[in-house]
Amino acid sequence: MNVEDLFVPALLVAFPLIAAICLNFIHGRDRAVKGFAILCIIIVLLLPWITQYGVYLFGGHPYVDNLEGTNIMLSKLNLAIVYNYGVIQKLFIALMALLASAAIVIHFLEKTSGVYAAMIMLGIASASAVIMADDVFNIFVFLEILTISQAALVIAVGSVRAYKTALKYLILGGVAGSSILLGIAILLGKYGMLNVSDLHRVISLEAETGISQALIVACALIFLGWLFESGMVPFHIIKSDVYSKARPSVAAFMQTQTKFILVALWVIILRLFYGIPTFHALVLGVAILSMVFGVIMALKQTEFTRLLAYVAVAQAGLVGVGLGIATRASVSASIFHAINDAMAMAILFLSASVVLQITNTMNMRKTGGLLWKTGLVPLWSMLGIFAVSGMPPFNTYQSEFRIIYAASEAGYPELTVLIILTSIATFVALMKGFYSLYLKEGQNYLKEEEMAKATYSERAEYLMIVLLAICIGVGFFPQSVLQHVQEFVISLGVI
Amino acid sequence: MNFDALFQPLCFLTAALLVVIGLYAVIFMDNLLKKIIGVTLISDGVNLVLITSGFNKIVAIISPDMFEDGVTSATFEGLQEFPEFATQAAFPLPSALVLTSIVISVSIFAIMLALAIRLYQHYGSMSCSTIFKEVEE
């Protein structure tokens, strides 16, 4: 047996889960938690790169016709939990692992908590499972775990406001989760199977004679769950609330999870319900609303993390727009944009993390005058703003340009205008934040003597530089990523 | 009156009632604890739908290949070769799913209750209009 055969996709889920359980057990022992968390995060960073590509049947069950030696009939179903692992899944999981490492390492010297690190690990495991899984119930289970881990990371802040946000998130998450489960129950009752590939084949055959009402109801219920998980309208407020109440470095990780879950769940929904005529229009509608509401809300915010949270929602809306147009070019551009924007937004959230360490507030009425107090962080922040706004030579320029071009080609010229306006409004909102943090006259706290001694985590700055380098690198060589995205979209076989 | 024939529709009706009562509690009730109970009622209703679909004996695992031959879950007769088994056995998959779903619901319920206790300690009230009335800056 070869050593590389051991690195199966299931390990990407199993290892963080086991790590989370172990971290819970050693909670309270500071040195042990630190050492073990660092070890885990190194392994989590390495795993996506050494895991073998392919389809993995969790439990190793192959297709079977009959159970030998018995009269029990088993049909040719994917009876095991199936994970698909390709280049796109690798990119998603590797990027998530990178930002998860930031969430752990940046706050590592401040306060050590086994539970906090465990929730980060749980977040990686659940998001990885949703990205790879080909089974609707498995996806439901890990979406619920993801909701719990995100709520727990908000609770970790320890303020009453964070508790309120976490409770609201859990209540809505409970309703959205039940909605997904009801959709799955309808699919199971009607078709007797849960595997997405099997369901896709069966539903495609059925669609030739017409779409059943049960399928439409199942689609509507699962679609509601997708809206919640991806932070689309009407769940954009709670999602931005969660981002803004969490620590900024954790928010960077969370917004990455959300964007990748948005894409992964949409792919599942598309494969199941692509025959429903209004499906694409519905996706496009909510995506446009999310994009517009997100950027309008960002413009009126007075708290920097909340501003970033709404920009993240608007950018998720932009990803949704490309998915809603549903041509090969637009979907490729959208998935490309999800990867690019996750990196660009992370730069800004990390800059917010640095500012928060110095000012202890994100209220833009109270901040200011940090331009010469935070080394080169303002420069990286400004470059991050350019990246999020889709300016050349950054990677988001490449993806936004392609979304606009695809929208124009697909016969939505008015949409191209809207996307350009959104980009301009995003830039204005972010510049307002930049001015309030760095350029505005210094406020009272800057006059205190302690201010001169104020320090911030240089680890956050290093990570910003790494992300900026990747953004610029991908901006110059977009085909290095886009080529794999295009192959992935073609492999879906429904666009 | 054949009670067996009515059992499944009655279960679906109960599930629908649970979901509607749960939604009512989540949307309209002011007490935080009632909202949390509402969420669990919705979850229980959905679990009941799943388990009831498993009670349907003619629902069975079919393969896409069989589906191509015109076989649907409603017309699948593979189990009729084993009449005794077919009359006694329920579709086992939903039971396994519901078990998992219950575990998840309990986890979420526990966290929600813990948060409700913390908020009660801070505000001295379970009223949502009291807890969530503060205008956030």
- Determine the residue of chain A that is closest to B131 in CA distance: A164
- Are A44 and A15 in contact by the 8 Å Cβ rule? The answer is yes
pLDDT at B22: 97
DSSP one-letter string for A22-44:
HHHHTTT-HHHHHHHHHHHHHHH
Q: Which of A164, A170, A192 sits opposite B108 (nearest CB)?
A: A170
Q: Which residues of B touch A194 (CB under 8 A)?
A: 93
Calculate how close chain A gets to B39, using CA atoms only, in Å: 6
Is B21 part of the contact surface with chain A (CB cutoff 8 Å)?
no
Return the structure tokens found at B32. 């935080």
ipTM of the complex: 0.89
- Are B35 and A171 in contact by the 8 Å Cβ rule? The answer is yes
Across chain A, mean pLDDT equals 88
Residues A72-76 have a mean pLDDT of: 48
Which residues in chain A (183-212) have CB-CB distances under 8 A to chain B?
A: 184-185, 188-194, 198, 201-202, 205
Residues with Cβ within 8 Å of residue A272, at least 6 apart in sequence: A136, A187, A196, A199, A200, A203, A218, A219, A222
Helices (H), A231-303: 236-245, 248-273, 279-299
SS (H, E, C) chain B: CCHHHHHHHHHHHHHHHHHHHHHHHHHHCCEHHHHHHHHHHHHHHHHHHHHHHHHCCCCCCCCHHHHHCCCCCCCCCHHHHCHHHHHHCCCHHHHHHHHHHHHHHHHHHHHHHHHHHHHHHHHCCCEHHHHCCCCCC
Res. A53: pLDDT tops 60: yes
Residue type, A152: A
Calculate how close chain B gets to A362, using CA atoms only, in Å: 11
Calculate how close chain A gets to B118, using CA atoms only, in Å: 8
DSSP one-letter string for A378-427:
HHHHHHHHHHHTT-TTSHHHHHHHHHHHHHHHTT-HHHHHHHHHHHHHHH
pLDDT in tens, A26-41: 888 888 888 899 999 9
The total domain count for chain A is: 1
pLDDT at A160: 93
Across chain B, mean pLDDT equals 81
The boundaries of the domain holding residue B115 are 3-56+91-131
Q: How far apart are CA B111 and CA A148, in angstroms?
A: 8
Q: How far apart are CA A214 and CA A248, in angstroms?
A: 42
> Residue B23: inside a domain, yes or no?
yes
Res. A59: pLDDT tops 70: no
pLDDT at A375: 84
Q: Which of B104, B132, B137 sits opposite A141 (nearest CB)?
A: B104
Q: Which of A167, A184, A193 sits opposite B116 (nearest CB)?
A: A167
pLDDT at A32: 87
Calculate how close chain A gets to B73, using CA atoms only, in Å: 6
Cα→Cα distances A332→A181, A312, A403, A478, Å: 29, 20, 9, 12
> Residue A184: inside a domain, yes or no?
no
Which residues in chain B (27-66) have CB-CB distances under 8 A to chain A?
A: 32, 35-36, 39-40, 42-43, 45-47, 49-50, 53, 56, 59-66
pLDDT in tens, A146-194: 999 999 999 988 899 999 999 999 999 999 999 999 999 998 888 777 8
> Residue B48: inside a domain, yes or no?
yes
Given CA atoms A376, A336, A402, A226 in this order, what sign does their dihedral have?
Answer: negative
Beta-ladder partners of A56:
A83
Q: Which residues of A touch B36 (CB under 8 A)?
A: 171
Cα→Cα distances A450→A8, A106, A412, A436, Å: 52, 22, 55, 21
Cβ within 8 Å, pair A175-B26: yes
Give the best residue of B33, B57, B111 to mutate against chain A (max A CB count within 10 A).
B111
pLDDT at B58: 45
> Residue A442: inside a domain, yes or no?
yes
Q: How far apart are CA B135 and CA B137, in angstroms?
A: 6
- Are A262 and A290 in contact by the 8 Å Cβ rule? The answer is no
> Residue B29: inside a domain, yes or no?
yes
Residues A277-283 have a mean pLDDT of: 89
Calculate how close chain B gets to A314, using CA atoms only, in Å: 21
pTM confidence score: 0.92
- Are A306 and A390 in contact by the 8 Å Cβ rule? The answer is no
pLDDT at A322: 95
> Residue B61: inside a domain, yes or no?
no
Residues with Cβ within 8 Å of residue A277, at least 6 apart in sequence: none
Residues with Cβ within 8 Å of residue A437, at least 6 apart in sequence: A304, A355, A364, A367, A368, A370, A381
Q: How far apart are CA B64 and CA A334, in angstroms?
A: 31
pLDDT in tens, A429-455: 999 999 998 888 766 655 566 666 667
The boundaries of the domain holding residue A443 are 278-495
- Are A170 and A147 in contact by the 8 Å Cβ rule? The answer is yes
